[in-house]
Structure 1
């Protein structure tokens, strides 16, 4: 099973951010039938650790590791703010960043990864770059349109929210990825 660990914004933040996303060129292109792969609002999250494929019999080990990490953390406040782009051409990804107590978010990610390592569970070792993926337009929009969306995202700031839980998710990749919530632990 393909797993990741994340924090999710609450519905009021999702609703507020959705009004921003609706105005983006990637959203208009989707409405016009161009597959810019705008992420479903139900899937909006900030990844703390990506485990990738994990044997089914190790799922409980992952859950216990995340629970141990959550016990060590305190709730903290963040907001969605700023925007950017990863990649170029067909690999272009639009994202919104995270502001507020980013150091606490980084600390939670480090604790989660430390506990995963203790449990001998592999994860993607890339440093945390806190963001929420908005769309994967690839090369289906020209660079000017992507840059305009990036500028719109760069000006956005959500209401703050308290991160009070960490979530273990299973992903089902594909053209329209879906996620299953396997467990959540309070901070």
Structure 2
């Protein structure tokens, strides 16, 4: 099974972001029928750790490791985050447009580090690329140039929200991607 750990923005933050995306060139292209692969706001998430493929029988070990990682990261108040600014990853067919995560992101970084430590100790897989909290807006590939949208996002600042939990998510790939929440830990 394909797994990752995420923080989900609340509907209010996603409604605000959706209004911003609708004003971008990429939003207008989507409204006109261009397949720019806008991210579904219902599935929007900030990936804290990506595990990738994990054998089904290792799921209890994953849950235990994540519980150990999340416990010490729990504060008296959940971290306050907001979406704002933005950027791009990749070029051509691999272009991804994203919005940045701002606020108490250092707490997410500590959580990401603890998760990786616990996964390593448990002999579980994880992506060890540097933690860069972001929320994917679209995967337009080479169907539209996103540079103007990336620049426009520099002026965007969404509402602040509390990140109340870290969620273990299973990703079901296929023609229609589906996400299944398997467990959660308070932050």
Using the size of structure 1 for normalisation, the TM-score is 0.93
Instruction: Tell me which residue corresponds to 2:91.
Output: 88
TM-fit CA distance, 1:118? 1.8
TM-fit CA distance, 1:175? 4.3
**Aligned pair 1:109/2:109, yes or no?**
no
Question: Residue 36 of structure 2 aligns to a residue in which SS?
Answer: coil
Instruction: Tell me which residue corresponds to 1:126.
Output: 129
Instruction: Tell me which residue corresponds to 1:152.
Output: 152
Unpaired runs of 5+ residues, structure 1, are none
Rate the CA distance shift 1:140–1:175 in 2: closer, same or farther, 3 A: farther
**Aligned pair 1:2/2:38, yes or no?**
no
Find the aligned partners of 1:119 and 1:42 in 2 and give their Cα distance: 32
Question: Residue 140 of structure 1 aligns to a residue in which SS?
Answer: coil
TM-fit CA distance, 1:27? 2.1
Find the aligned partners of 1:58 and 1:35 in 2 and give their Cα distance: 37
- Runs of 4+ in structure 1 deviating by more than 4 angstroms, as ranges, are none
Mapped contact 1:82–1:153 kept (Cα < 8 A):
yes
Instruction: Tell me which residue corresponds to 2:14.
Output: 14
Deviations 1:28-68 (A, max 9, x none): 22222221110000111110111111111111211111111
Find the aligned partners of 2:62 and 2:24 in 1 and give their Cα distance: 37
Taking the TM superposition and a 5 Å limit, the aligned residue runs for 1:14-93 are: 14-73=14-73, 74=75, 75-93=78-96
Q: How many residues align?
A: 184
Unpaired runs of 5+ residues, structure 2, are none
